[in-house]
Amino acid sequence: MPASYAYLGPEGTFTEVALRTLPEAATRELIPYVSVQSALDAVRNGEAEAAFVPIENSVEGGITTTLDELVAGRPLMIYREVLLSITFALLVRPGTELSDIKTVTAHPAAQPQVRNWLKRHLPDATWESAASNADGARLVQEGRYDAAFAGEFAAGRYGLEALETEIHDAENAQTRFVLVGRPARPAAPTGADKTSVVLWQRDDHPGALRDLLGEFASRGINLMLLQSRPTGAGIGNYCFCIDAEGHISDRRVAEALMGLKRICLQVRFLGSYPRAGVDPADVPPPRQGTSDEAFTEASDWVARCQDGRF
């Protein structure tokens, strides 16, 4: 397997900035790809060891392009996550004034994060989506658009100027990125972990979603992401992307997954991995009755009952 990481390019994306915060990135060749799909396909096809892509932001939630790519196709696994604070700059060709701007571009995920700023400062500008924020900067450099929302750090790379900086509608906005590779044994638990799965209902009936969520709730597992995505099988047919606290090696998580496997049409395990920015010492203990010790004690009690030793 090549010692390389694919990422959503071109150079100068927030994705690249986040990727370079990983220590192992310094020992890999970092290769930009034009889309999330092509970056993930590079892993599936053996062209790259792993891919680094955005998966969620604090303004709009899950990034559907990435979620859909992980739901479909040959299975992949998440091994790491990175959180990056996001603020935009309005990048323009030298000499451009705010009054000159008639067209703006950026990745679709950027629009909800600058919508109000656009309404206040450029109410008549036309928005066009780009493959990434850095690609939007490249298109401005080529004269295709008047301005792009991107990281200020991308300005010099594309011969642009930052006409405005510190643009964001929501304070403390963050984007979550994940390192994705081929399926393998998950990393050892750290005590501050997250498990990601995709669930398909066996059939549509009243309380079907409650049944799925009940497998987590009854074992004291907190959910951190719940997003439905269409399966493509018709209106009303959805699967559910879920991030849950804990590691598959935790008894409560393993038993929840076993319960889901029994009642779901399909379960896709996307990995157990460390939570970004969380110290294991700050993670509260499991709710009473949901620790590994509690599961072991309950299992031993059942065994004694079966042997007549209760």
Tell me the DSSP string of 179-243: EEESS-PPPPP-SSEEEEEEEEESS--TTHHHHHHHHHHTTTPPEEEEEEEE-SSSTT-EEEEEE
Determine the distance from the C-alpha atom of residue 308 to the mean position of all C-alpha atoms in its chain, rounded to a whole number: 50
Domain 1-86+173-184 has CATH 3.40.190.10: yes
Domain 185-309 has CATH 3.30.70.260: yes
Q: Which residues of the chain have pLDDT under 50?
A: none
Q: Would you state the pLDDT for residue 309?
A: 84
Q: Are strands 193-201 and 238-245 parallel, antiparallel or unpaired?
A: antiparallel
The CATH number for 88-167, chosen from 3.40.190.10, 1.10.3720.10, 3.40.50.1100, 3.20.20.80, is: 3.40.190.10
Closest to 257 measured CA to CA, from 217, 216, 227, 287: 216
> Is the fold of 1-86+173-184 the same as that of 88-167?
yes
Q: Would you state the pLDDT for residue 2?
A: 66
Q: Would you state the pLDDT for residue 48?
A: 96
Residue 127, class by beta-carbon neighbours within 10 Å (0-12 exposed, 13-18 middle, 19+ buried)?
middle
Question: Residue 206: is the preceding peptide bond cis (ω within 30°)?
Answer: no
Integer angstrom CA distances of residue 92 from 34, 83, 95, 135: 22, 27, 8, 13
47: alpha, beta or left? (left if phi > 0; alpha if psi -120 to 50): alpha
Residues 6+ apart with CB under 8 A from 218: none
Domain range summary for the chain, segments of one domain joined by +: 1-86+173-184, 88-167, 185-309
Q: What is the pLDDT of residues 80-109, one digit of tens each?
A: 999 999 999 999 999 999 999 999 999 998
Average pLDDT, the chain: 94
The phi, psi pair for 144, rounded to 5°, reads -70, -35
Tokens of 249: 């090696």
Q: What is the pLDDT of residues 283-304, one digit of tens each?
A: 999 999 999 999 999 999 999 9
